[in-house]
Amino acid sequence: MPLFKNEHEPGNHEPENSERRTGLLGMLFVLIFLAYGARLFSMQILSGELYRSRAQDIARRTTLIPAQRGEIYDRNFNQPLVHNTDSFAVNITPAEVPREKMSALIDSVAGILRMSRDEIERKIPPQYYYLYQPIEIAVNVPYADIAALAERVDSLPGVSWNSKPVRNYVDPGSLSHILGYVGDITRDELTMLYNRGYQQGDIIGKAGIERQYDEILRGKEGRETRTVDVRGRRIVGQENNIRESPEMGKNLVLTIDRSVQTLVEKALGERIGAAVVMKPSTGEILAMVSYPWYDPNIFTRTLGEEYQALAEDANKPFINRAIQSGYPPASTFKIVMTTGILSENIFSPEQTIDCQGEIAYGDRQWRCHIRRPGHGRLNLHQAMAQSCDIYYWTVGRDYLGVERIVSYARDYGFGESTGIDLPGEISGFIPHPQWKERRFHERWLGGDTMNMSIGQGYTLVTPIQMANVVCMVVNDGKIYKPHLLKEVRDPVSGAAELSVKPEIIHESETDARVFEAVRRDMRGVISEGTAQFPLNIKTVEIAGKTGTGEVGHQDKWHSWFTAYAPYNSVNPEDQVVLSIIVEAVNNWEWWAPYASAIIFQGIFAGQNYEDAVQSLGLQYTMPVQGRRE
């Protein structure tokens, strides 16, 4: 008998093992059944509502309905400067296009819409092919192209179109820099604005008022949620189809007076430069012109070559020269100098200086704009009227000094932005001795003070800053914040929801009697001085200051004029301030004073440009030759 039993002998434990395996397998099936039963009970009974909701969400498609942007009006609130026109946008839903047909579909759509294939592929890269969200590939598509797409809709899976309002700028002309334009939101813009409700595909303001007040103008998009089948086709008659109507953006009423804007636009003409007309008592901008301008309607078309030509234009039409270009103020700076001389009482306004046409200082001869025999003996009032450089060189260097000059320039707001409600404003520049030492490693010299005293050298100001200088003189030291927005109105009822109130941004400590004297001296420029011929008009009394900015060429100067009217008006509401510059790149014709005469004549006589020119007899006037103050 063997000591050990062979476990592998056949037939020893087979019935017992078989029963055990059968029992274990049965228990496993029971456990699986119980687990699935519990899961189904949880899904259908305990969480049934949640999963039914999820199933419905999966079967729903949400389409955004674009909101119309608010319209923009001038101060008269009659005809819109900017409104919306009906147009079409074309979309492609990538996931509805079979992968093997995507390339052919892009070619077909590009041909119908006259777009490049690359342009569509940039908007629908391969990583977007799984998206069921429609992607907009073209806007402002004409009806004929939509009809062509409709004729081939069976062979263009995933292609759809919808009505989409497009911005229309009505005869914008010089208003382009004020109104700005709109465009697709960029990735960088979306990164900054996402938390403020902006999304991919939004249209946002890119410049001007469109950008400054984009959140007021943009409105609120609507949504259409529909139930679809497994192929994405809409199921008609479903109760869960929901439409949330879009809300139009608010309408804006600007301070701009379209008739004054047109008058200034024509008076400046096709001369590179800028002009600002504003109300000193409120800071309202009545007109702002910068030439050259551009047509903002090009941004609603898909013609990239038009934009490229403007971007490469050497005259930089996208720059608003009224707030984004700095110029030497030239003799208009003598308003600041006169204020300092009268305030400091260190050189009597009755004391005279003998102008013989030139003076020697350092290693050079400094020549007044009137050469020998010069202006003769002049007091402050006469020096301002005749714009005598030698008077201001002497008083600035020997009496006022650079620190006082800088102080009064800053009191007038030079070197700081005005805060106007337009993006991109620059602050200009006021130099000082410490700056020169840091910048050039040179000390400030008496010649630098002399240059600064007549608005030359390193000083840079913008036309809007120069307008604020005159506003401060008119208002006895107060400067109101320049602004373009007058009202925000409801797009349906037209009721005003917000009216912009005048805001004082600076109040000088200079005595009001000083500003009264400055106004008299500015009137002397017109009644007996350098601007007597072009601006001593009968319609209204004007007070102002001419300026001729040197740019290093013997026959090229910036032509400045800054002024207000009526002089000595008893009602501040009647007064208007004008600041205008014609750049030296234009043929020299000393045009700023003549353009100003036309503008003041048109405003106060209620005339258009053609009638104002006729009234002043300027239709026969030849361009002025030679350097003039």
Query: Residue 120 is which amino acid?
Result: I
Residue 134: inside a domain: yes
Q: Does position 469 have pLDDT exceeding 90, yes or no?
A: yes
**Pair 196, 335 in one domain:** no
Residue 508 and residue 463 share a domain? yes
In terms of domains, do 197 and 91 share one? no
CATH of the domain at 527: 3.40.710.10
Of 179, 173, 287, 171, the closest CA to residue 598 belongs to 287
- Of 302 and 298, the structure prediction assigns the larger pLDDT to 298
For 317-339, what is the mean pLDDT?
A: 97
262 and 199 in a common domain: no
Per-residue pLDDT at 622 exceeds 90 = no
Mean pLDDT within 148-176: 88
Instruction: Say whether both 245 and 297 belong to one domain.
Output: no
What percentage of the chain reaches a pLDDT higher than 90? 59
Q: What is the CATH number of the domain that holds 137?
A: 3.90.1310.10
207 plus 74 within the same structural domain: yes
Identify whether 262 is part of a domain.
Answer: yes
Read off the pLDDT of residues 268-280 as tens digits, 9 standing for 90 and up.
Answer: 999 999 999 999 9
pLDDT score of 12 more than 70: no
Residue 260 and residue 286 in contact, taking contact as beta carbons nearer than 8 Å: yes
Work out the number of other CB atoms within 10 angstroms of the CB of residue 130: 8
Tell whether 210 and 276 lie within a shared domain.
no
The residue from 252, 271, 295 where one domain ends is 252
Greater confidence, 131 or 500? Answer: 500
Residues 453 and 583 placed together within one structural domain of the fold: yes
Instruction: Please write the tens of the pLDDT for every residue from 473-499.
Output: 999 999 999 999 999 999 999 999 999
For residue range 554-572, list pLDDT tens digits in order: 678 899 999 999 998 888 8
Q: What is the DSSP letter of 384?
A: H
pLDDT higher than 60, residue 302: no
171 shares its domain with 63: yes
pLDDT at position 627 is 40
Q: What is the mean pLDDT of residues 34-54?
A: 69
Best CA proximity match to 604, nearest among 567, 560, 570, 579: 567
> How many folded domains does the chain comprise?
3
Asked if residue 46 is part of any domain, the answer here is: no
Q: What is the mean pLDDT of residues 334-345?
A: 97
If one compares 374 and 222, the residue with the highest pLDDT of the two is 374
Of residues 38 and 247, more confidently modeled:
247
Q: Residue 325: its pLDDT value, please?
A: 96
What pLDDT, on a 0 to 100 scale, did the predictor assign at position 626?
A: 40
Q: Is residue 453 part of a domain?
A: yes
Q: Which of 221-230, 290-299, 305-314, 433-442 has the lowest mean pLDDT?
A: 221-230
More confident residue, 508 or 68: 508
Confidence of residue 507 (pLDDT cuts 50, 70, 90): very high
The whole-model pTM stands at: 0.83
Is 16 within the bounds of a domain? no
Position 233 scores a pLDDT of: 53
Residues 245 and 281 in one domain: no
Residue 41 belongs to some domain of the structure? no
Q: Which residue has the higher pLDDT, 180 or 197?
A: 180
Arithmetic mean of pLDDT, 523-542: 93
Q: What is the mean pLDDT of residues 343-364?
A: 94
User: pLDDT band at residue 216, thresholds of 50, 70 and 90?
Assistant: very high
Better pLDDT: 183 or 244 = 183
Same domain, 559 and 519: yes
183 phi and psi angles, rounded to 5 deg: -170, 175
Of 360, 627, 328, 354, whose CA–CA distance to 452 is shortest? 328
Asked whether residue 327 is assigned to any structural domain, the reply reads: yes
Question: Which of 131 and 49 is assigned the larger pLDDT?
Answer: 131
Domain boundary among 252, 269, 298: 252
In terms of domains, do 80 and 138 share one?
A: no
Between CA 380 and CA 358 the distance in angstroms is: 18
Mean pLDDT calculated for residue range 586-613: 94
Question: Would 32 be classed as within a structural domain?
Answer: no
Give the residue among 591, 595, 599 at the shortest CA–CA distance from 559: 591
Q: Give how far the C-alpha of residue 170 lies from the chain's centroid of Cα atoms, to the nearest Å.
A: 18
Backbone φ, ψ for residue 110 (5° rounding): -60, -40
Q: What is the mean pLDDT of the chain?
A: 88
Per-residue confidence at 369, pLDDT binned at 50, 70, 90? confident
Range of the domain at 193: 52-86+165-252
**Predicted local confidence at residue 229, as pLDDT:** 57
Euclidean distance between CA atoms 622 and 607, whole angstroms: 22
